Structure 1
Amino acid sequence: MTLNNKQRQYLKGLAHSLKPVVLLGQHGLTEGVLAEIDLALNFHELIKVKVAAEDREVKTLIMDAIVRETGAVKVQTIGHILTLYRASEQKKIILPKA
């Protein structure tokens, strides 16, 4: 799934007041963390994940792996916070048309 600019801006506005739902700690990206992100995406559709990595390249690799493994769309990245969107069966968030 790809988002156009209008949809991305709409999701950024919705995500502005959200707090990170999943925090990656010292053990990094594990199967348990991926399962938790997947569960949160199924329930909320739009979530924030905090990736606490010191090295910028490592942080980018972890964020790319999260997007790839969950099948979600990266809405934005600000510092250590990654905002993800994946539509669920209930369609809680209605995206604007192009």
Structure 2
Amino acid sequence: LEAYQKFVFEEDRLRSVQIAHHICSLMQRGNVVVRWKLYHSVFNPVLQRGVKLAHHCQHSSVTSAQMHSCPHHDQCLPQEVLQVYLKTLPALLKS
């Protein structure tokens, strides 16, 4: 699971989105133990990065178009990746 963390937060957006879809698929199909481990190893850190992204943008008044030139953007999670995880969140909360 720690190996996934490296791929989730890499700079290649396309690969990060693909990994996000894969992880969310595993979380939806996996048993309770798999979901628990993936949530704590990957999903929760992703959500924390998403909160940092939202907080940073709110306090900096950064728009989506400005994200690519943001000096702190390398510490943030790409919006495309975050959206994949957020779409899975309601299903996880129901389970």
TM-score bracket for this pair, using the shorter chain length: 0.3 to 0.5
What's the TM-score, normalizing by structure 2?
A: 0.35
What's the TM-score, normalizing by structure 1?
A: 0.34
Normalized per residue, the structure richer in helix is: 2
